Structure 1
Amino acid sequence: MDNRSGSLLEIGKIVGTHGLRGDLKVRLHSGTPEILLDADQVTLHLPSGEKLTVEPTRQSLHKGQVLLRLQGYDSINQVEPMIGAQVLLHEAQLPELEEDEYYWADLKGLQVVDQQKGVLGKLHQMFNTAAHDTYVVTGPYGEVLIPAVAQFIQEIDLDQRVMRVDLPEGLVPDEE
Protein backbone atom coordinates (compact mmCIF):
# COMPACT_ATOMS: atom_id res chain seq x y z
CA MET A 1 0.00 0.00 0.00
CA ASP A 2 1.28 3.44 -0.78
CA ASN A 3 0.91 6.43 1.49
CA ARG A 4 -0.61 9.20 -0.58
CA SER A 5 -0.53 12.79 0.42
CA GLY A 6 -3.73 14.74 0.91
CA SER A 7 -6.72 14.18 3.04
CA LEU A 8 -9.31 11.46 2.57
CA LEU A 9 -12.63 12.58 1.10
CA GLU A 10 -15.88 10.64 1.22
CA ILE A 11 -17.12 9.86 -2.28
CA GLY A 12 -19.80 7.26 -1.60
CA LYS A 13 -21.28 4.61 0.62
CA ILE A 14 -21.50 0.83 0.47
CA VAL A 15 -25.22 0.10 0.26
CA GLY A 16 -25.25 -3.66 -0.23
CA THR A 17 -23.68 -6.74 -1.74
CA HIS A 18 -24.08 -8.23 -5.20
CA GLY A 19 -23.76 -11.95 -5.82
CA LEU A 20 -21.86 -14.45 -3.72
CA ARG A 21 -18.27 -13.56 -4.68
CA GLY A 22 -17.92 -10.52 -2.46
CA ASP A 23 -18.94 -7.71 -4.79
CA LEU A 24 -20.05 -4.56 -2.99
CA LYS A 25 -22.59 -2.05 -4.28
CA VAL A 26 -21.36 1.53 -3.90
CA ARG A 27 -23.68 4.52 -4.26
CA LEU A 28 -21.62 7.58 -5.15
CA HIS A 29 -22.57 10.91 -3.63
CA SER A 30 -21.93 12.80 -6.81
CA GLY A 31 -19.69 13.12 -9.80
CA THR A 32 -18.75 10.61 -12.40
CA PRO A 33 -18.28 6.94 -11.57
CA GLU A 34 -14.88 6.97 -13.28
CA ILE A 35 -13.25 8.31 -10.11
CA LEU A 36 -14.01 4.99 -8.41
CA LEU A 37 -13.74 2.84 -11.53
CA ASP A 38 -10.15 4.05 -12.02
CA ALA A 39 -9.06 3.93 -8.36
CA ASP A 40 -6.22 1.55 -7.52
CA GLN A 41 -6.76 1.98 -3.78
CA VAL A 42 -9.73 2.91 -1.59
CA THR A 43 -10.21 3.44 2.11
CA LEU A 44 -13.33 2.22 3.86
CA HIS A 45 -14.57 3.78 7.08
CA LEU A 46 -16.45 0.77 8.43
CA PRO A 47 -19.56 0.97 10.62
CA SER A 48 -17.40 -0.42 13.45
CA GLY A 49 -15.28 2.75 13.27
CA GLU A 50 -12.27 0.96 11.80
CA LYS A 51 -10.57 2.33 8.67
CA LEU A 52 -9.44 -0.22 6.12
CA THR A 53 -7.32 0.55 3.04
CA VAL A 54 -7.87 -1.98 0.25
CA GLU A 55 -7.08 -2.56 -3.41
CA PRO A 56 -9.96 -3.17 -5.82
CA THR A 57 -9.57 -6.19 -8.12
CA ARG A 58 -12.74 -5.50 -10.10
CA GLN A 59 -14.79 -2.36 -10.65
CA SER A 60 -17.83 -2.06 -12.91
CA LEU A 61 -21.03 -0.12 -13.36
CA HIS A 62 -24.34 -1.80 -12.55
CA LYS A 63 -27.69 0.00 -12.54
CA GLY A 64 -26.20 3.40 -11.68
CA GLN A 65 -23.99 2.07 -8.91
CA VAL A 66 -20.39 0.85 -8.86
CA LEU A 67 -19.72 -2.79 -8.11
CA LEU A 68 -16.46 -3.18 -6.26
CA ARG A 69 -14.55 -6.38 -5.53
CA LEU A 70 -11.64 -6.09 -3.11
CA GLN A 71 -8.38 -8.03 -3.00
CA GLY A 72 -8.55 -10.67 -0.26
CA TYR A 73 -12.35 -10.48 0.07
CA ASP A 74 -13.96 -13.07 -2.18
CA SER A 75 -17.16 -14.14 -0.46
CA ILE A 76 -20.38 -12.50 0.59
CA ASN A 77 -19.73 -13.51 4.22
CA GLN A 78 -16.47 -11.51 4.29
CA VAL A 79 -17.98 -8.32 2.88
CA GLU A 80 -21.41 -8.18 4.58
CA PRO A 81 -19.94 -6.36 7.62
CA MET A 82 -18.81 -3.61 5.21
CA ILE A 83 -22.38 -2.59 4.33
CA GLY A 84 -22.87 1.00 5.47
CA ALA A 85 -19.16 1.86 5.19
CA GLN A 86 -18.11 5.22 3.79
CA VAL A 87 -15.92 4.97 0.71
CA LEU A 88 -13.00 7.40 0.82
CA LEU A 89 -10.37 8.41 -1.72
CA HIS A 90 -7.28 10.53 -1.25
CA GLU A 91 -7.75 14.06 -2.53
CA ALA A 92 -4.89 13.47 -5.00
CA GLN A 93 -6.96 10.71 -6.65
CA LEU A 94 -9.82 13.08 -7.45
CA PRO A 95 -10.09 15.32 -10.51
CA GLU A 96 -9.57 19.06 -10.12
CA LEU A 97 -12.77 20.97 -9.44
CA GLU A 98 -14.21 23.69 -11.61
CA GLU A 99 -14.89 27.09 -10.01
CA ASP A 100 -18.42 26.36 -8.73
CA GLU A 101 -17.86 22.70 -7.83
CA TYR A 102 -17.38 21.27 -4.34
CA TYR A 103 -16.52 17.96 -2.74
CA TRP A 104 -19.27 16.38 -0.65
CA ALA A 105 -16.92 16.42 2.35
CA ASP A 106 -16.87 20.24 2.12
CA LEU A 107 -20.67 20.54 1.91
CA LYS A 108 -21.76 17.98 4.50
CA GLY A 109 -23.10 19.69 7.62
CA LEU A 110 -23.56 23.14 6.08
CA GLN A 111 -26.42 25.17 7.54
CA VAL A 112 -28.96 25.75 4.78
CA VAL A 113 -30.86 29.05 4.81
CA ASP A 114 -33.75 29.82 2.45
CA GLN A 115 -34.43 33.40 1.39
CA GLN A 116 -38.13 33.10 2.37
CA LYS A 117 -38.34 30.44 5.11
CA GLY A 118 -35.05 31.08 6.93
CA VAL A 119 -33.04 28.20 8.42
CA LEU A 120 -34.03 24.87 6.85
CA GLY A 121 -31.50 22.79 8.78
CA LYS A 122 -28.23 21.01 8.05
CA LEU A 123 -27.12 19.45 4.78
CA HIS A 124 -27.27 15.80 5.77
CA GLN A 125 -26.96 13.77 2.59
CA MET A 126 -26.67 14.03 -1.16
CA PHE A 127 -27.69 11.64 -3.88
CA ASN A 128 -27.40 11.57 -7.63
CA THR A 129 -30.33 11.36 -10.02
CA ALA A 130 -30.29 11.14 -13.81
CA ALA A 131 -31.02 14.87 -14.02
CA HIS A 132 -28.88 16.34 -11.22
CA ASP A 133 -27.59 15.92 -7.68
CA THR A 134 -30.10 16.39 -4.88
CA TYR A 135 -29.30 17.73 -1.42
CA VAL A 136 -31.10 16.30 1.62
CA VAL A 137 -31.53 18.83 4.43
CA THR A 138 -32.89 17.89 7.85
CA GLY A 139 -34.22 20.44 10.31
CA PRO A 140 -37.38 22.15 11.57
CA TYR A 141 -39.23 21.40 8.30
CA GLY A 142 -38.37 17.71 8.41
CA GLU A 143 -36.53 16.41 5.40
CA VAL A 144 -36.24 18.90 2.53
CA LEU A 145 -34.98 17.75 -0.88
CA ILE A 146 -33.24 20.49 -2.85
CA PRO A 147 -32.18 20.02 -6.47
CA ALA A 148 -28.51 21.03 -6.69
CA VAL A 149 -29.03 23.42 -9.58
CA ALA A 150 -27.89 27.01 -10.02
CA GLN A 151 -31.43 28.45 -10.09
CA PHE A 152 -31.97 27.41 -6.42
CA ILE A 153 -28.47 27.70 -4.92
CA GLN A 154 -27.59 31.36 -4.36
CA GLU A 155 -24.33 31.03 -2.43
CA ILE A 156 -22.10 28.46 -0.78
CA ASP A 157 -19.89 30.00 1.89
CA LEU A 158 -17.50 27.34 3.19
CA ASP A 159 -15.84 29.77 5.63
CA GLN A 160 -19.16 30.54 7.34
CA ARG A 161 -20.42 26.95 6.75
CA VAL A 162 -23.66 28.25 5.15
CA MET A 163 -25.52 27.49 1.94
CA ARG A 164 -28.03 30.16 0.91
CA VAL A 165 -30.93 29.05 -1.27
CA ASP A 166 -34.02 30.57 -2.87
CA LEU A 167 -36.58 27.79 -3.19
CA PRO A 168 -39.93 27.95 -4.99
CA GLU A 169 -43.23 27.61 -3.11
CA GLY A 170 -44.07 24.01 -2.31
CA LEU A 171 -40.54 22.68 -2.14
CA VAL A 172 -40.37 23.27 1.62
CA PRO A 173 -43.19 21.60 3.61
CA ASP A 174 -44.97 23.51 6.37
CA GLU A 175 -43.07 23.51 9.68
CA GLU A 176 -43.47 20.26 11.62
Structure 2
Amino acid sequence: MAVRVGEWFCAGVVRGTHGLRGDLKVRPVTDDSASLLEAGELEFRKADGTATRQVPVRSSLHKGDVLLRLKGLEHIDEVQHLVGSEVYMPYRDLPDLEEDEFYWYQLEGLRVLDRTRGELGTLEEMFTTPAHDIYVVQGPYGEVLIPVVEQMIVRVDLVAGCIEVDLPEGLVPGSDEV
Protein backbone atom coordinates (compact mmCIF):
# COMPACT_ATOMS: atom_id res chain seq x y z
CA MET A 1 0.00 0.00 0.00
CA ALA A 2 1.23 3.52 -0.76
CA VAL A 3 2.62 5.26 2.27
CA ARG A 4 2.58 8.98 2.79
CA VAL A 5 6.10 10.33 3.04
CA GLY A 6 5.96 13.25 5.44
CA GLU A 7 2.97 15.51 5.50
CA TRP A 8 3.40 17.00 2.00
CA PHE A 9 2.69 15.62 -1.47
CA CYS A 10 3.52 16.76 -4.98
CA ALA A 11 0.44 18.47 -6.40
CA GLY A 12 1.89 20.01 -9.56
CA VAL A 13 4.76 21.52 -11.52
CA VAL A 14 5.31 25.19 -12.36
CA ARG A 15 5.14 25.40 -16.17
CA GLY A 16 5.72 29.12 -16.50
CA THR A 17 4.46 32.55 -15.61
CA HIS A 18 1.25 34.28 -16.59
CA GLY A 19 1.16 38.05 -17.00
CA LEU A 20 3.38 40.62 -15.36
CA ARG A 21 1.91 40.46 -11.84
CA GLY A 22 3.74 37.30 -10.84
CA ASP A 23 1.10 34.65 -11.46
CA LEU A 24 2.49 31.14 -11.89
CA LYS A 25 1.03 28.52 -14.26
CA VAL A 26 0.99 25.22 -12.43
CA ARG A 27 0.10 21.94 -14.17
CA PRO A 28 -1.62 19.69 -11.59
CA VAL A 29 -0.16 16.18 -11.29
CA THR A 30 -3.65 14.72 -11.68
CA ASP A 31 -5.78 15.99 -14.55
CA ASP A 32 -8.72 18.14 -13.51
CA SER A 33 -7.44 18.36 -9.93
CA ALA A 34 -8.50 21.46 -8.06
CA SER A 35 -6.64 20.56 -4.85
CA LEU A 36 -4.19 23.42 -5.29
CA LEU A 37 -7.09 25.86 -5.00
CA GLU A 38 -7.51 24.75 -1.36
CA ALA A 39 -3.87 25.08 -0.27
CA GLY A 40 -3.09 27.44 2.58
CA GLU A 41 0.66 26.97 2.15
CA LEU A 42 2.82 25.62 -0.67
CA GLU A 43 6.37 24.40 -0.94
CA PHE A 44 8.31 24.88 -4.19
CA ARG A 45 11.09 22.31 -4.66
CA LYS A 46 13.69 22.84 -7.35
CA ALA A 47 15.70 20.11 -9.07
CA ASP A 48 18.82 21.14 -7.12
CA GLY A 49 17.07 20.25 -3.85
CA THR A 50 16.37 23.77 -2.64
CA ALA A 51 12.89 24.47 -1.34
CA THR A 52 10.92 27.52 -0.34
CA ARG A 53 7.53 27.82 1.33
CA GLN A 54 5.02 30.40 0.14
CA VAL A 55 1.46 31.42 0.93
CA PRO A 56 -0.93 31.66 -2.03
CA VAL A 57 -3.11 34.78 -2.03
CA ARG A 58 -4.98 34.04 -5.25
CA SER A 59 -5.66 30.86 -7.21
CA SER A 60 -7.87 30.00 -10.14
CA LEU A 61 -8.29 27.42 -12.89
CA HIS A 62 -7.18 28.48 -16.38
CA LYS A 63 -7.06 26.16 -19.42
CA GLY A 64 -6.16 23.06 -17.42
CA ASP A 65 -3.61 24.86 -15.26
CA VAL A 66 -3.89 26.48 -11.86
CA LEU A 67 -2.86 30.12 -11.75
CA LEU A 68 -1.23 31.03 -8.44
CA ARG A 69 -0.26 34.40 -7.02
CA LEU A 70 1.99 34.26 -3.97
CA LYS A 71 2.07 36.60 -0.98
CA GLY A 72 4.77 39.26 -1.38
CA LEU A 73 5.70 38.18 -4.93
CA GLU A 74 3.79 40.51 -7.22
CA HIS A 75 5.98 40.82 -10.31
CA ILE A 76 7.11 38.34 -12.95
CA ASP A 77 10.77 38.91 -12.05
CA GLU A 78 10.12 37.81 -8.45
CA VAL A 79 8.68 34.41 -9.44
CA GLN A 80 10.70 33.51 -12.54
CA HIS A 81 13.13 31.44 -10.43
CA LEU A 82 10.24 29.12 -9.46
CA VAL A 83 9.54 27.97 -13.03
CA GLY A 84 10.27 24.25 -13.28
CA SER A 85 9.78 23.64 -9.55
CA GLU A 86 7.56 20.90 -8.19
CA VAL A 87 4.74 22.29 -6.06
CA TYR A 88 3.97 20.48 -2.80
CA MET A 89 1.01 21.01 -0.51
CA PRO A 90 0.12 19.55 2.89
CA TYR A 91 -2.30 16.64 3.06
CA ARG A 92 -4.26 18.56 5.71
CA ASP A 93 -5.35 21.10 3.04
CA LEU A 94 -7.03 18.50 0.83
CA PRO A 95 -10.80 18.93 0.71
CA ASP A 96 -12.95 16.14 2.15
CA LEU A 97 -14.25 13.64 -0.37
CA GLU A 98 -17.51 11.75 -0.64
CA GLU A 99 -17.63 8.30 0.95
CA ASP A 100 -16.87 6.43 -2.30
CA GLU A 101 -14.14 8.81 -3.55
CA PHE A 102 -10.39 8.53 -2.99
CA TYR A 103 -7.25 10.52 -3.59
CA TRP A 104 -4.58 9.03 -5.82
CA TYR A 105 -2.05 8.79 -2.96
CA GLN A 106 -4.52 6.48 -1.18
CA LEU A 107 -4.84 4.13 -4.18
CA GLU A 108 -1.33 4.01 -5.62
CA GLY A 109 0.36 0.71 -4.79
CA LEU A 110 -2.81 -1.16 -3.79
CA ARG A 111 -3.18 -4.81 -4.83
CA VAL A 112 -5.90 -5.40 -7.41
CA LEU A 113 -7.94 -8.60 -7.09
CA ASP A 114 -10.36 -9.85 -9.73
CA ARG A 115 -13.30 -12.01 -8.61
CA THR A 116 -12.57 -14.60 -11.32
CA ARG A 117 -8.80 -14.45 -11.91
CA GLY A 118 -7.49 -13.58 -8.45
CA GLU A 119 -4.58 -11.19 -8.10
CA LEU A 120 -3.97 -8.99 -11.15
CA GLY A 121 -1.08 -7.03 -9.68
CA THR A 122 -0.41 -3.58 -8.26
CA LEU A 123 -2.05 -0.29 -9.17
CA GLU A 124 0.86 1.69 -10.67
CA GLU A 125 -0.71 4.64 -12.50
CA MET A 126 -3.94 6.30 -13.41
CA PHE A 127 -4.87 8.43 -16.38
CA THR A 128 -7.98 10.24 -17.46
CA THR A 129 -9.95 9.83 -20.68
CA PRO A 130 -13.00 11.86 -21.71
CA ALA A 131 -15.25 9.01 -20.54
CA HIS A 132 -13.61 7.98 -17.22
CA ASP A 133 -10.35 7.32 -15.41
CA ILE A 134 -8.25 4.26 -16.23
CA TYR A 135 -6.22 2.28 -13.67
CA VAL A 136 -2.94 0.82 -14.92
CA VAL A 137 -2.15 -2.42 -13.10
CA GLN A 138 1.16 -4.31 -13.43
CA GLY A 139 1.32 -7.97 -12.46
CA PRO A 140 1.35 -11.59 -13.61
CA TYR A 141 -0.82 -10.78 -16.66
CA GLY A 142 1.42 -7.88 -17.67
CA GLU A 143 -0.21 -4.49 -17.96
CA VAL A 144 -3.96 -4.49 -17.36
CA LEU A 145 -5.99 -1.35 -18.09
CA ILE A 146 -9.12 -1.11 -15.96
CA PRO A 147 -11.84 1.44 -16.67
CA VAL A 148 -12.88 3.08 -13.40
CA VAL A 149 -16.62 2.52 -13.72
CA GLU A 150 -19.14 1.29 -11.19
CA GLN A 151 -19.72 -1.99 -13.06
CA MET A 152 -16.07 -3.05 -12.72
CA ILE A 153 -14.88 -1.62 -9.39
CA VAL A 154 -16.54 -3.74 -6.69
CA ARG A 155 -14.91 -2.13 -3.65
CA VAL A 156 -11.84 -0.35 -2.38
CA ASP A 157 -10.50 -1.52 0.98
CA LEU A 158 -7.79 0.85 2.18
CA VAL A 159 -7.31 -1.07 5.43
CA ALA A 160 -6.63 -4.36 3.58
CA GLY A 161 -4.68 -2.51 0.88
CA CYS A 162 -6.66 -3.83 -2.07
CA ILE A 163 -9.16 -3.03 -4.78
CA GLU A 164 -11.65 -5.74 -5.73
CA VAL A 165 -12.76 -5.74 -9.37
CA ASP A 166 -15.08 -7.82 -11.55
CA LEU A 167 -13.71 -7.65 -15.09
CA PRO A 168 -15.39 -8.98 -18.21
CA GLU A 169 -13.82 -11.53 -20.56
CA GLY A 170 -11.16 -10.14 -22.84
CA LEU A 171 -10.02 -7.31 -20.60
CA VAL A 172 -7.16 -9.25 -19.00
CA PRO A 173 -4.57 -10.29 -21.61
CA GLY A 174 -3.59 -13.95 -21.56
CA SER A 175 -5.97 -14.96 -18.79
CA ASP A 176 -7.75 -18.28 -18.85
CA GLU A 177 -11.43 -17.94 -18.12
CA VAL A 178 -12.78 -20.18 -15.39
Q: Same fold per TM (> 0.5)?
A: yes
Relative distance call for 1:18 and 1:12 in structure 2 (3 A) is: same
SS in 1 for 2:79: coil
* 140-149 or 101-110, which deviates more: 140-149
- The equivalent of 1:107 in structure 2 is 107
- The equivalent of 1:74 in structure 2 is 79
**Which of residues 15, 18, 25 in structure 2 aligns to 1:17?**
15
Aligned-partner Cα distance in 2 for 1:116–1:45? 44
Shift of 1:24: 4.0
SS in 1 for 2:83: helix
Q: Alpha-carbon deviations, 1:89-142, whole Å to 9, x = none?
A: 332x22222221222222121011122333222112233444333322222333
Q: Is the 8 A contact 1:11 1:29 kept in 2?
A: no
Q: Is the 8 A contact 2:39 2:94 kept in 1?
A: no
Structure 1 residues not aligned, in runs of 5+: 1-6
Q: How well do the aligned residues superpose, as a CA RMSD in angstroms?
A: 3.3
Q: Alpha-carbon deviations, 1:64-91, whole Å to 9, x = none?
A: 332445555511x5422x2xx3633332
| Structure 1 residue 26 corresponds to structure 2 residue 27 | yes
Q: Is the 8 A contact 1:18 1:67 kept in 2?
A: no
Aligned-partner Cα distance in 2 for 1:68–1:138? 36
Aligned-partner Cα distance in 2 for 1:50–1:118? 45
Count of residue correspondences: 162
Instruction: Output the amino acid matched with 2:150.
Output: A
Aligned-partner Cα distance in 2 for 1:100–1:109? 18
Q: Name the larger-Rg structure.
A: 2
Aligned-partner Cα distance in 2 for 1:104–1:31? 13
SS in 2 for 1:37: helix
Shift of 1:57: 4.9
1:1-176 map, 5 Å: 8=7, 10=9, 12-14=11-13, 17-19=15-17, 23-29=24-30, 32-33=33-34, 35-43=35-43, 52-68=52-68, 70=70, 74-75=79-80, 77-80=81-84, 82=85, 85=86, 87-91=88-92, 93-174=93-174
Q: Is the 8 A contact 1:26 1:68 kept in 2?
A: no
SS in 2 for 1:74: helix
Aligned-partner Cα distance in 2 for 1:78–1:105? 25
**TM-score by structure 1 length?**
0.68
Instruction: Output the amino acid matched with 2:170.
Output: G
**TM-score by structure 2 length?**
0.68
Aligned-partner Cα distance in 2 for 1:96–1:150? 21
